[in-house]
Structure 1
Amino acid sequence: MNFNISVCCETCDEKTNCRLGISNRAYQPLRFRCASCGSPIDITMIPDFENVGIDIQVSGAEQVKTDRFEEGVNFVDLHLDFPVRFGEYVMGMTPYMAATMRIGHQEMQMHSVRVNYLNEVYEREKEIKSIFTLYKKGKANLFRKGALSFLGSSMACKSQLDQNRALYYVIEKSFFPFSEPKNNLDATSLYTEKLIELEKAKKDKLDRFIKEIVNTGFLKNVQEDCLEIYPRIIDIELMLRPALFLDFDKEYQGNQVPYRVSAHEFLDAKDLYKDIAEIISRALVLVAGFNNLLKRDSHDEFENVPGAPKDLDKFADYPLGKKLDFIDDPWYALDANVMDNQLRNSVAHYKAEYDEVSQEITYYPKREGIKQQKSESMYFLDFSRRILMAFRELHRMNHFTKCLFVYYYLRVLGEKGTPV
């Protein structure tokens, strides 16, 4: 379903014709910038699906009556679930139709399943966030009550081992549209396999590593850092819907096409990318310690190469880019394309500029003093995609913290597992 409206910017009186594609979300906030003056124009749609009606509210502009869309007038397609763009109005070429032509009907059905599931996640946002808060605060009874209610389950949830398991059931149920379930399952199987391998060959050394990361609070801190990110992903789920679409749009990969994101803007999300990178950098300490155990006799023993840290504690202080240099022939494959250290540094140090109309991001990754001449650029949709991919990597690493805790509870503390 689509609606055509015309609006006149309150700042410059420029007219824009808008085709509004309807999602299944109960509340649909859309935004674009006036092509003439750059002022934000917000359009909020609240569909009445039963009566096939819709309430449309406009802010930053006045809705004006138009019998048809004239040539030469600014035009924008808007939809929460797909990438859209400015351009010429083509009758019938709705956002849904254009998206289906790019990925096909089967993939569109899969995309629709995920974004429709996000509607449920959005509606249970407070419940999900509360469960994370209760877990971090150590409110065991309240966490158990909230988690089991959310899961619709009566599984055991009293021991630390059981609560750890329940937490990750909640995470998987809440965030499966953003994650890659098969990759997560494969990763967890790999973690378990390597833990069994180390327990058989070097149990004393493995236990020493586990006790150190638990007793120092490091493992718990990494887990809690990860848990801080999940609610923030829910906060920007509207922004990530078009990025999820790119899982299926294979022709888009590597192309800089000025597709638009109809909700949120660069400033709403830039800090999240930086924070995810920082947490991944911390989690790499776990990966490195495990790697050292697999290849050598101590989690503190790195490959003997120039510049290598003398122990895991020193490694923890290395920046992200440098950390990757000292995890030799790793058992854990970190996608180097996921974390763009130059983009991260540019965003973190205010060396990025954002064109609010075109949604183009220009950033300066090199150290150039005050000149800032060598720039790179991407569109906001690409940046949204980077956040999604970085989150998936963080999510995969968070499953590693889960497995390390499972080993600690089962093998170090001697807790008994209970059936699901």
Structure 2
Amino acid sequence: MNFNISVLCNTCESQTNCRLGMSNREIQPLRFRCKCGVPIDITMTLDFENTNVDIQVSGAKRIEMDAFEAGVNFVDLHLDFPVSFGKYVMGSTPFMQASMRVGYEAMQIHKMRVNHLNDVCSSEKEIRDILTLYSNNNSGIFKVKVMKFLGSKMACDTQLDQNRALYHAIERSFFPFAEPKRNMDAVNLFTEKLMKLEINNKNALHAFFEEIVTNGFLKNVQTDCLEIYPRIIDIELMLRPALFLDFDHEYEGNQVPYRVSAHEFVDAKDLYKDISEIINRALVLVAGLNNIKKRGSHDLFPEGKHVPSSLNKFADCPFGKKLDYIDESWYSIDSEAIDNQLRNSVAHYKTKYNEVSQEIIYFPQQEGMKQEHPKNMYFLDFSRRILLSFRELHRLNHLTKCLFVYYYLRVLGEEGTPVDI
């Protein structure tokens, strides 16, 4: 279902015709920028019982019109799909354009995922509480909350059991953003790697655990990962069109100015920077295991100039250098999830954002006071980068889970439930 409305900007009095595509979310906050740059917000609230839709406009006033006239500024708006701003074409809605690009089966998968996001948002407080309670070691309350959330009576008394319950809750909540098969393959890889290292390098492996557990690094990385999940819920509206690009392969590599109908660059740039930094820290775990596999000690890196002398020194290396010191790594970081030039530009305020076109211009090179070599992308591309980075962080968070499972079972000797054994 779609609604056509026309609005008059409160600031410049320019008229914009809007086609509003319906999602199945109860409250649908949409935004676009008038050609003068002022934000105009349109919120649709569904009344499922009476099959009504309440439409509220902020930053502009709604005006009466019989039909969309040629030459008037036009915007398509939809929460679930990328939208393009151009000429109004009757029937060429964002939903219909998306269906023609990806086909029926992909549309059904996308629909299933965004439907689940509605449930995630309705359980937002429960999810936040579960993550906070686990991070703060409030095991008694955590057990009550997570069991209620999961609707389960699984064992949840030991550290091992609570670790398992936590990740059950995470997988249930965040599967629309994640890639379940790749996550499963990653967990199998982590488990297989730990088993082989125990057989061939048990003493070195346990020395590695002694350091990362005693100094709190493993717990800190896990806690950092857990802090990202609620922030993903905060921007789930922004990520819906980015999720659609899993199927819209025609978009890849094209500088098509598709728009996102919710949130803006300023709402998400710090999250991208923080996810990148946590991936940077998690690489310490990857490097430690790689060193044990290759040289029998987590502190021994390949010989070379400026190579860190220990894992502790490696932790201080810049993100861009870390991968150079992990030789023939057993774990491959998704290259699309890492863009040091973009990360550095965002972190050091070397970006410009056009709110109207949603174009991001960033300056990755060190040019002193000059900015002569820009790169550009659209906000949809940036949203996609956040999604891919989150997926990589999520897989590395599963590495912290597997490391804790090994530590509880094989180092501390906790009794495992049958599923752990």
Deviations 1:39-90 (A, max 9, x none): 0000000012333210000000000001000000000000000000211000
Conserved 8 A contact 2:336-2:388: no
Q: Displacement of 1:320 after TM fit? A: 0.5
- Cα distance in 2 for residues equivalent to 1:181 and 1:337: 18
Give 1:316's aligned residue: 315
Provide the secondary structure at the position in 2 that maps to 1:46: strand
Q: Does 1:232 align with 2:226?
A: no
- Cα distance in 2 for residues equivalent to 1:233 and 1:248: 21
- Cα distance in 1 for residues equivalent to 2:381 and 2:69: 31
- Cα distance in 2 for residues equivalent to 1:29 and 1:282: 35
Give 1:3's aligned residue: 3
- Cα distance in 2 for residues equivalent to 1:85 and 1:34: 15
Give 2:27's aligned residue: 27
- Cα distance in 1 for residues equivalent to 2:246 and 2:48: 28
Please show how residues 270-349 of structure 1 align to structure 2 within 5 Å.
Answer: 270-349=269-348
- Cα distance in 2 for residues equivalent to 1:194 and 1:131: 29
- Cα distance in 1 for residues equivalent to 2:108 and 2:350: 40
- Cα distance in 1 for residues equivalent to 2:210 and 2:181: 30
Give 1:97's aligned residue: 96
Conserved 8 A contact 2:4-2:18: yes
- Cα distance in 1 for residues equivalent to 2:65 and 2:121: 34
Provide the secondary structure at the position in 1 that maps to 2:80: coil
Ranges of 4+ aligned residues in structure 1 off by more than 6 Å: none
Give 1:15's aligned residue: 15
Q: Percent identity?
A: 69
Please show how residues 20-419 of structure 1 align to structure 2 within 5 Å.
Answer: 20-35=20-35, 37-419=36-418
Provide the secondary structure at the position in 2 that maps to 1:337: helix
- Cα distance in 1 for residues equivalent to 2:229 and 2:293: 31
Q: Displacement of 1:337 after TM fit? A: 2.6
Deviations 1:15-55 (A, max 9, x none): 000000010101100000002x1100000000123332100
Q: Displacement of 1:380 after TM fit? A: 0.1
Letter in 2 for 1:289: G
Letter in 1 for 2:393: L
Letter in 2 for 1:171: I
Letter in 1 for 2:231: R
- Cα distance in 1 for residues equivalent to 2:119 and 2:58: 27
- Cα distance in 2 for residues equivalent to 1:192 and 1:130: 29
Letter in 1 for 2:302: E
- Cα distance in 2 for residues equivalent to 1:89 and 1:321: 45
Gaps of 5+ in 1: none
Deviations 1:112-171 (A, max 9, x none): 000000000011101100111111111111101111111110000010000001000010
Letter in 1 for 2:198: E
Provide the secondary structure at the position in 1 that maps to 2:41: strand
- Cα distance in 1 for residues equivalent to 2:301 and 2:101: 47
TM (norm. structure 2) is 0.99
- Cα distance in 1 for residues equivalent to 2:416 and 2:65: 67
Letter in 2 for 1:3: F
- Cα distance in 2 for residues equivalent to 1:48 and 1:95: 23
- Cα distance in 1 for residues equivalent to 2:168 and 2:336: 29
Letter in 1 for 2:352: E
Letter in 1 for 2:148: S
Q: Displacement of 1:96 after TM fit? A: 0.6
Letter in 2 for 1:200: I
Q: Displacement of 1:254 after TM fit? A: 1.0
Q: Displacement of 1:209 after TM fit? A: 0.4
Provide the secondary structure at the position in 1 that maps to 2:328: coil
Deviations 1:378-401 (A, max 9, x none): 000000000000000000000000
Letter in 1 for 2:230: P
Letter in 2 for 1:273: Y
Q: Displacement of 1:211 after TM fit? A: 1.4
- Cα distance in 1 for residues equivalent to 2:233 and 2:203: 41
Letter in 2 for 1:29: P
Gaps of 5+ in 2: none
Letter in 1 for 2:319: L
Q: Displacement of 1:343 after TM fit? A: 0.3
Letter in 1 for 2:212: I
- Cα distance in 1 for residues equivalent to 2:49 and 2:81: 24
- Cα distance in 2 for residues equivalent to 1:329 and 1:202: 18
Stretch deviating more after TM superposition (43-52 or 392-401)? 43-52
- Cα distance in 2 for residues equivalent to 1:50 and 1:229: 35
Root mean square deviation, CA, Å: 0.7
Deviations 1:231-268 (A, max 9, x none): 00000000000000000001111111100000000000
Provide the secondary structure at the position in 2 that maps to 1:54: strand
Aligned residues: 419
